[in-house]
A and B are shown apart, each in its own frame.
Chain A
Amino acid sequence: MYLCDMEIGDKAIIKKIVAKDNIKRRLLDIGLIEGTNVECVLKSPFNDPIAYLIRGAIIAIRKEDCNKIEVDLI
């Protein structure tokens, strides 16, 4: 399952990030690494981007970037 497949209210743990260096670094900056807990909290009116609760902050990420992040629902 990928990050972008989560529904609002779902909680998950990051399994694998296969994104390119650029976005990987951005994600790293906000503390999104393998093993991080995330919760899907908001979807924008057009369903993209989607906002997640990551380490206490709400961060919006685009679909193109989310679909490279594998997660396990918890």
Chain B
Amino acid sequence: MKIIALAGNPNVGKSTVFNSLTGLHQHTGNWPGKTVSNASGKFKYNNKQYKIYDLPGTYSLISHSEEEEVARDFICFSKYDLIIVVCDAVCLERNLNLVLQTLEITKKVIVCVNLMDEAKKKKINIDLKKLSNILGVPVVGTSARNKNGINELLDNLENTDFNPIEIKYDEEVEDAINILIPYLEDKVKVLNPRWVAINLINYEESLYKKITSYLNYDLLKDKIIKNQLIYIKENGNYNIVDNLVKKSEQITKEVISYENKNYKQKDLKIDKITTSKLFGIPLMIAMLMVIFWLTIKGANYPSDLLFNFFSFLEIYILKFLEFLNIPQFLIDLLISGVYKVLSWVVAVMLPPMAIFFPLFTLLEDLGFLPRIAFNLDKMFKKCRACGKQALTMCMGFGCNAVGVSGARIIDSPRERLIAILTNVFVPCNGRFPTMITLITIFFIGINGNSFLSVIILTMVILLGFLLTFLVSYFLSKTILKGVPSSFTLELPPYRKPQIGKVIIRSIFDRILFVLGRAVVVAVPAGALIWLLANLHINDISLLNHICSFLDPFGKMIGMDGVILISFILGFPANEIVIPIILMAYMSTGNLVEYESLESLRTILVNNGWTITTAICVLIFSLCHFPCSTTCLTIKKETGSYKWTLLAIIIPTLIGLLLCFLINNISNFI
């Protein structure tokens, strides 16, 4: 089986090429840094088996951030039969830099010039044949999103016509390389000695360490090599990559012609508005509010429908279970425990998730997210953090675990940690419907003014942003001291999202995901809470025992024991919190006929909920410990229990404090 890797600059369509080759659904998005770890897939073509890796994007083989390191390590130190370097046809010049760097390591390169459709639209002509002649490796033009050129790419997989150009550096660089090579040849058999020589001259610590561990030999400990290197360094200043940049420039001049030099103007016109002093930030908030409004409005109807469907189905399931002669105890457990929680998760939580997520994906595909980072960077800098944290926060809306691993795109380890520790202040897709449900059933009412719901929700989200800034600032002043590091961010062109495809794909994704989680988490949690409510000691249920123990504490922060237990049980998946709360209330005797969502409010009120309770639950669902998946991801990304623990403690403490304050203030009033 042949092993192929897809490398290239960020956001050039590597994952899209990967998907069209394998038929898989690796996530894509119109911003640099979507893919942060290797993904692999298999496919067959002309009776040959291939295994292909989708690497994170990287500008060069000298890495700066974690995800670039992943890509670099693969290209430099892994075994493969072929590397496809994917390039952006619209800015080929910069992409060629990476092509040239890759050619220093291996000959087995195919250049895939992607986004040909965009180049065509912008009237940029590229002579692919000439490019192939100059580079000495196969060059294929593709528009991966429309699957154009993919067949030609496939046909070239067995092409072994590699005769890459020899990249000649300035004379003094070449001299230096030639001095080193003889000493390296017998020591670095597994690597290309010329490449190692170049990297010794152009010393970069993390890469050097990798070379050392790969060779299991520290080249600089070798006296002769070390002395030669000192001699070389004394005799000149070597700008190796400068050479490559100039070479790329030269090649580009030969193969590209522009019919319209001002092809960026249309995008820039839009950007002038989205990043303007007056409209930039209000527009972002307005965009968010529109999405919220669509989510809230759109979720009501399917929610009601599902709700009725499940109540309808319940009767028949009940009949069926009775028919099977199952003991009453078990029937109650299954129906009032498991079935109820499960159906609430699906009916109440699923619709907002299934609407919000695709909408957000559209925004992502449009290319809006990097503009958010651009607009907000100054604020992050004030907090001594990185503007790319805005991107990880956006990912957090989908899932905090993704936001946490997405923090790899941040170069500085200190700023990356800040982004990881604060990601939980963005409500993920699991907590988001909790908030919407609370707002809808408690504050507004099902048929109430959804605009008001949007305002409340937006305020909660903005509070989350505020907390992110405050905590980031606090962290940089205390345990993560430091100054903001440098920052470059590419703003990709706006791209028209493939609306139909995105919506279908992400709704499908969400439904499967939520249903999967619902079964895994909601079923045992539902059973457990039912058992607690129905097993008695001294005539008082276990749930009551626990609640009366937790109640005083819960009351201090404006909630009660049931709510606290629900949050704890919601550790594996936040979307079960509200269903568990409702079920626990219902099973403790305050029986309410629930015909519709409207009756849920009555359940809450009957159990002592006031406006304060609802606000506190809202705030606490914004700030409390991250879910179990996120905690595991934090552990994996930071490699430390200390940081994971901190990531749990910080939001929980803040949440408790806020709720405590709110409760006291409202008591006072």
**CB-CB under 8 A for A43 and B93, given A30-B490, A59-B488, A59-B490:** no
- Judging by beta carbons under 8 Å apart, are B93 and A31 in contact? yes
B185 close to chain A: CB less than 8 A: no
**Residue interface bits B64-100, CB-to-A below 8 A is 1, else 0:** 1000000000000000000000000011111001000
- Which chain A positions have C-beta within 8 A of B24? none
Which B-chain residue is minimally distant from A68 (CB atoms)?
Answer: B486
Contact of B245 with A45 in the complex, beta carbons under 8 Å: no
Q: In the complex, what residue of chain A is closest to B90 when comparing beta carbons? A: A56
- B280–A30 CB distance below 8 A: no
> When the two chains form their complex, are residues A45 and B489 in contact, meaning their CB atoms are under 8 A apart?
no
A41 at the interface (CB under 8 A from B): yes
A13 interface hit (Cβ, 8 Å): no
From A25, A42, A48, B272 is in contact (CB under 8 Å) with A42
User: Which residue of A45, A55, A58 is within 8 Å of B281 (Cβ)?
Assistant: A45
B18 to chain A, nearest CB (A): 22
Q: Give A33-51 as 1s and 0s: 1 = Cβ < 8 Å from B's Cβ atoms.
A: 1101000011111111101
Q: Does B458 contact A (CB under 8 A)?
A: no
* Shortest distance from the beta carbon of A10 to any chain B beta carbon, whole Å: 14
Does A73 reach chain B (CB closer than 8 Å)?
Answer: no
Would B60 and A44 count as touching, CB distance under 8 A? Answer: no
How close is B489's CB to chain A, nearest CB, in angstroms? 4
Query: In whole angstroms, what is the CA distance A27 to B491 when docked?
Result: 15
Complex contact A64–B241 (CB within 8 A): no
User: How far apart are A6's CB and chain B's nearest CB, in angstroms?
Assistant: 15
Q: Smallest CB–CB gap between A37 and chain B, Å?
A: 10
Kindly list chain A residues whose C-beta atoms are within 8 Å of the C-beta of B276: 45
Contact across chains for A44 and B64 when beta carbons are under 8 A apart:
no
Within the complex, which residue of A23, A33, A48 is in contact with B377, where a contact is CB–CB below 8 Å? A48
Query: Which residue of A48, A51, A53 is within 8 Å of B378 (Cβ)?
Result: A48
Which residues of the partner chain A approach B280 to less than 8 Å between Cβ atoms? 44-45
Q: In the bound complex, how far is the Cα of B268 from the Cα of A25, in angstroms? A: 27
Q: Are A42 and B377 in contact (CB under 8 A)?
A: no
Residues of B within 8 A of A51 (CB): 271, 275, 374, 491
Contacts of A25 in B (CB 8 A): 60, 62, 64, 204, 241
Q: Contact at B487–A29, with CB atoms within 8 Å? A: no
With A48-B378, A60-B374 in contact, do A55 and B489 touch (Cβ < 8 Å)?
no
Indicate which residue in B93, B97, B271 contacts A42 across the interface (CB closer than 8 Å). Answer: B271
- Are A61 and B487 touching (Cβ within 8 A)? yes
Q: Are B486 and A49 in contact (CB under 8 A)?
A: no
Complex interface bits, B256-297 against A, C-beta within 8 A gives 1, otherwise 0: 000000001001100110011100110000000000000000
**B145 contacts the other chain (CB 8 A):** no
| Complex CA–CA separation, A46 to B239 (angstroms) | 35
Q: How far in angstroms is the closest Cβ of chain A from B125?
A: 14
Of A26, A33, A47, the residue contacting B488 (CB under 8 A) is A26
Cβ 8 A contact of B275, one of A19, A20, A30, A44: A44
CB of B271 within 8 A of CB of A30, answer no
Structural contact, A62 and B377, CB atoms closer than 8 A: yes
- Cβ–Cβ < 8 Å partners of A20 in chain B: 486
A61 near B488 (CB under 8 angstroms)? yes
Q: A58 touching B387 by the CB < 8 A rule?
A: no
Given known pairs A25-B64, A48-B381, A62-B381, the reply for A33 and B91 (CB within 8 Å) is no
Distance of A67 Cα from B470 Cα, bound (Å): 28
A28 B264 Cβ-Cβ under 8 A: no
Find the residue from A25, A34, A53 having the highest chain B CB count within 10 A: A25
Residue B106 is within 8 A (CB to CB) of chain A in the complex = no
Closest residue to B485 on the A side, CB-wise? A22
Complex Cα distance A26/B59, Å? 9
Whether, in the assembled complex, B541 has its beta carbon less than 8 Å from a beta carbon of chain A, the answer is: no
Q: Does B248 contact A (CB under 8 A)?
A: yes
Residue ID in chain B nearest A49 by CB atoms: B377
Closest to A54 in B: B94
- Report yes or no: B271 in contact with A31, Cβ–Cβ below 8 A: no
The reply on A57 being an interface residue by CB < 8 A is: yes
Our pick among B91, B267, B377, B486 for the contact of A44 (Cβ within 8 Å) is B377
Whether the pair A59, B489 counts as a contact (CB closer than 8 A) is: yes
Given contacts A29-B59, A44-B377, contact A57 B490 (CB under 8 A): yes
* Residue among A22, A23, A44 making CB contact with B375, cutoff 8 Å: A44
Nearest CB of A to B459, in Å: 21
Closest to B491 in A: A58
* Complex interface: chain B residues within 8 A of A59 (CB): 488-491
Q: Which B-chain residue is minimally distant from A20 (CB atoms)?
A: B486
Contact call B488/A30, Cβ cutoff below 8 A: yes
CA distance A33 to B242 in the complex (A): 7
Q: Which residue of B lies closest to A61 (CB)?
A: B488
- Nearest-neighbor residue (CB-CB) of A58 within chain B: B491
A44/B490 in contact, CB under 8 A: no
* Interface: A70 (CB within 8 A): no
Chain B proximity of A31: nearest CB distance (Å): 5
Verify A57–B91 contact, CB threshold 8 A.
yes
Q: Is A65 part of the binding interface, using a Cβ–Cβ cutoff of 8 Å?
A: yes
Please, which residue of chain A has its CB at the minimum distance from the CB of B263?
A56
> Could you write out 19 A-B pairs with CB less than 8 Å apart?
A23-B486, A26-B411, A29-B59, A29-B97, A33-B239, A33-B242, A36-B245, A47-B378, A48-B377, A49-B487, A51-B275, A51-B491, A53-B264, A55-B91, A55-B249, A56-B93, A60-B489, A60-B491, A62-B486
- 7 new A-B contacts, CB < 8 A, other than A58-B267, A58-B490, are A23-B486, A25-B64, A26-B59, A30-B488, A31-B245, A44-B374, A59-B488
Q: Chain A interface (Cβ within 8 Å of chain B)?
A: 19-20, 22-23, 25-31, 33-34, 36, 41-49, 51, 53-62, 64-65
Binding site for A on B (CB under 8 A): 59-60, 62, 64, 90-94, 97, 204, 239, 241-242, 245-246, 248-249, 264, 267-268, 271-272, 275-277, 280-281, 374-375, 377-379, 381, 387, 411, 484-491
- In order of increasing CB-CB distance, the 9 nearest A-B pairs are A56-B91, A29-B59, A23-B486, A46-B378, A45-B280, A58-B491, A60-B489, A29-B60, A31-B94
